[in-house]
Amino acid sequence: MTQMSGRIGRLILRGARWVCIYFLCLSNSAAWQGNSSSKVESSPWPEADQIFRSDPRWLGGDAAFSVDLGDGRVLWMFGDSFVAKKAGETRMQAAFIRNSVAIQTGYDPSRAAIKFYSATRHNEPGDFMPSKGTTWLWPLHGIRLRDRLLLLYMRMARDPNKSSLGFQSLGWNAFMVDNPDAEPSKWKPRKLDGPETQGKMLVGMSVIRDDEFVYAFVLHDVEHHAYLLRWPVGEAMAGRLSSPQWWCGSVEGWRENSAHRQVVIRDAGSDFSVQRDPRGEGFLEVNTDGFGATNIVFRRAARLEGAWSEPQKLYRPPESAAPNAFVYGGKAHPELSGGDLIVTYTVNGSDERLAHDMSIYFPRFVRVTFSEDSTGGQPRMQH
């Protein structure tokens, strides 16, 4: 999207990484046999969709990464968002900002409450995480670490060469919030030093931890292959991110030298999620298979390092059947309840439709149910 505030003006939405949609659709259940021990059914969840339409000033946003803050609180991190100065304004009148956040209270989105946050600058809604010059921040993922909150963002700018759909990533930044139990309006995120903060390696597309390490998946923004690094939990909590260990393959294992890092997931898409498999051993990865008329797919692996299975179909969004379909941004939210797996996805639309059609540009939920319990007593990762 182009930089703008107030009226929409000229929208350039074709290059947006994420645009989540609300769509009153027909039943679209899909059943598949993921492996010999698990079968799931996936269907739209319109009751949950309504949570993002409950604030008359927040008129839509994309990205929709979520972080469990504990005690029933969930942080939502949005990218490009429309925020009205007062209730009753339309998107044509609202401010267009690069990122916003919300706090959901209650883990079931069909029953939970939510409150949205942005900054106020010059008496107008502004980016929650402020832009700097001609660059802006889009969210990646994050994780609660005891009394602190680690947040990852990508730095973006317009592409003067008009490649990469009109924008380019300049790297990533990490921030630490020391008072995550307070309202986001009272946060003062501290910028942290990290490895390779310049270039196309985006650290923190998905973050997960065990007792010893915090793991961050790293997306190459051109190849869309994923890598994996980790920090000792104590180092991550202290904000010391400059010397991670990279996964360098089964022969070399974990090394601080990133020169030999190995691809963990090929063709992971523009964004994805990784979590412990809720109904089986190992881990589950969810993403959208490309752009356009697409499917939400999943992979499985016994270990975070892989090997990961080939992608299998999880859900076919009904919007993929529409003319000029542009569906992407699928990811799961392991902290949410109401199903065995809760997924959101992304849909783009034409400039004219986005400006006037309030049925789009709100996150869309999919509820996944497993027909068999094959957890085998596996412990859940912390998120």
Is the predicted pLDDT of residue 202 greater than 60, yes or no?
Answer: yes
Residues with Cβ within 8 Å of 374's Cβ and at least 6 positions away in sequence, in order, are: 37, 38, 279, 280
Higher-confidence residue of 287 and 4: namely 287
Other Cβ atoms less than 10 A from the Cβ of 52: the count is 26
Q: Which of 208, 232, 209, 229 is nearest to 219 (CA)?
A: 229
The mean pLDDT value for 291-299 works out to 90
Report how far residue 210's alpha carbon sits from residue 373's, in angstroms, rounded to the nearest whole number: 23
The mean pLDDT value for 161-176 works out to 82
Q: Please give the share of the chain, as a percent, with pLDDT higher than 70.
A: 86
Q: Provide the token pair at 16.
A: 């947006």
Residue written as token pair 């986005």: 354
The mean pLDDT value for 293-312 works out to 95
Higher-confidence residue of 217 and 351: namely 217
Is the predicted pLDDT of residue 27 greater than 60, yes or no?
Answer: no
Is the predicted pLDDT of residue 28 greater than 60, yes or no?
Answer: no
Report how far residue 170's alpha carbon sits from residue 342's, in angstroms, rounded to the nearest whole number: 31
The mean pLDDT value for 288-311 works out to 93
Is the predicted pLDDT of residue 350 greater than 60, yes or no?
Answer: yes
Residues with Cβ within 8 Å of 84's Cβ and at least 6 positions away in sequence, in order, are: 56, 57, 58, 59, 90, 93, 94, 95, 125
- What's the pLDDT band for 303 if we cut at 50, 70, 90? very high
Hey, which of 5-9, 174-178, 309-313 has the most confident mean pLDDT? Answer: 174-178
- What's the pLDDT band for 3 if we cut at 50, 70, 90? very low
Cα–Cα distance list, 341 to 42, 71, 280 (Å)? 9, 20, 12
Is the predicted pLDDT of residue 348 greater than 80, yes or no?
Answer: no
pLDDT tens profile 251-294: 999 999 899 999 999 999 888 999 999 877 899 999 999 878 99
pLDDT tens profile 49-101: 999 999 999 999 989 999 999 999 999 999 999 999 999 999 999 999 999 99
Cα–Cα distance list, 135 to 3, 19, 102, 266, 357 (Å)? 10, 20, 23, 28, 29
The mean pLDDT value for 124-147 works out to 96
Higher-confidence residue of 36 and 330: namely 330
Q: The pTM is what?
A: 0.88
- Calculate the average pLDDT of the chain: 86
What are the residue ranges spanned by the domains of the chain?
50-128
Is the predicted pLDDT of residue 325 greater than 60, yes or no?
Answer: yes
Q: Please give the share of the chain, as a percent, with pLDDT higher than 90.
A: 68
**Helix/strand/coil for 259:** helix
- What's the pLDDT band for 29 if we cut at 50, 70, 90? very low
pLDDT of residue 199: 80
pLDDT of residue 95: 96
Is the predicted pLDDT of residue 182 greater than 70, yes or no?
Answer: yes
